[in-house]
Chain A
Amino acid sequence: MNELERCLANPGEPPFDRDRLLERLRARASAEGLLDVAYAELDSPLGRLLVAVTPRGLVRIAYQDEDAVLDELSRALSPRLLRAPERTDQVRRELDAYFAGERRTFDLALDWSLIRGFAQKVLRATARVPFGQVTTYGSVAAEAGSPRAARAAGNALGSNPIPIVVPCHRVLHAGGGLGGYAGGLDRKRYLLELEGTPPPRRR
């Protein structure tokens, strides 16, 4: 390598302020209507949660692997998806208050676009089950218009895109058994205990 090439290869490190770049990008994307999905990670007593919002409202809360959830959101909603914690502030505050036992209902706008048809009806019915009460799969199926579709209701609840806020943990087996939970039964049990409706323990 000759002298010229050596000089070209050593331009010095230009200062790169990644946080400032991203902050400006989010602000501008937001102002120009280019931020379709904003997300952030939150810490909770149930572990790390990924929370995503659209201009319509809260669209996703996920317990699982971040990359898979982001891919899902990108495919189902829009690839204009940026990490933007300031856009999820209200969700974070309400969840914090809920986990601290200071809040029983959420005042969050919800975006239902990840779920359609009967499943959405089941989840909307579930969203009406109040704090501190529980119901059954058959009962939310009936509320959704198909009293005999308890199993389909179970599937819908299993794919709830907005757990905790749409309280699928309040739906149990008719016999009082816990039923299922996409985030694992330990989390379901935790939420029920937090709400003062501890499920019967089974051996």
Chain B
Amino acid sequence: MPPFQLLVDAHAAELHRFLAGFLGPDDAEDCLQETLISALRAYPRLRNGDNLRAWLYTIARRKATDVSRWRMRRPSSALDSIAPSAEPAEEPMPIPDDGLWSRVRGLPEKQRAAVVHRFVLDLDYRSIGERMAISEEAARQNVAAGLRRLRKEINP
């Protein structure tokens, strides 16, 4: 296995973009932190180092899905109530929340991950398949299904 630091150096920025698309910018860093700690914990027991990127994205998706479920159960979390005073309003909202992104975040997990990979990270279907550990065809179908659903919700 390569040193864990090299994995972080190679993938952290892109994982963060993925999580920011998947969850929204506020939760991305915490979720990335959880992802990396989980990965670090399991790393020495990992048998197969062939596709470490897919492995990291699998952990990230699992963590992000946990965060989403938690958020849905508690729409105004402790974090949300702390955030306004801790972070002054100077910082611009980086992802324009015109409703599109909250709809993306309402997609079924696989479609949502596929759409974020396709558009936020600008990946082709083969790379999406690799990262999600599904076939190229399944990646294409998940993106298409996600887009269909978004279109329907925006123009019912």
Residues of chain A having any CB pair with chain B under 8 Å: 4-5, 7-9, 11-18, 20-22, 24-25, 28-29, 32, 34, 37, 39, 70-71, 73-74, 78-83
Contacts and interface: CB of A to CB of B under 8 A. Distances in A.
Interface residues of B, number: 40
B21 interface: yes
A71 B20 contact: no
A27 to B, nearest CB: 10
Given A4-B151, A12-B95, A29 B40 contact: yes
6 contacts: A5-B119, A8-B118, A14-B25, A21-B12, A24-B33, A80-B4
A15 B37 contact: no
A82 B4 contact: yes
A108 B53 CA distance: 38
A39 B1 CA distance: 17
Contacts of B134: none
B118 to A, nearest CB: 8
Interface in B1-55: 1-6, 8, 12-13, 16-17, 20-21, 25, 28-29, 32-33, 36-37, 40-41, 43-44
Contacts of A70: 3, 5-6
Interface of B: 1-6, 8, 12-13, 16-17, 20-21, 25, 28-29, 32-33, 36-37, 40-41, 43-44, 91, 94-96, 100-101, 104, 115, 118-120, 122, 147, 150-151, 154
Given A7-B100, A11-B21, A74-B1, A18 B44 contact: no
Given A21-B33, A25-B33, 5 more contacts: A8-B119, A11-B119, A12-B96, A16-B29, A81-B5
Contact of A34 (B16, B41, B94, B118): B41
A12 B94 contact: yes
A14 B100 contact: no
Contact of A71 (B2, B16, B100): B2
Nearest to B9: A83
A80 B104 contact: no
Given A7-B100, A14-B25, A34 B40 contact: yes
Given A18-B12, A83-B5, A28 B33 contact: yes
Contacts of B5: 39, 70, 81-83
Contacts of A11: 20-21, 95, 101, 119-120
Given A9-B120, A16-B13, A22 B104 contact: no
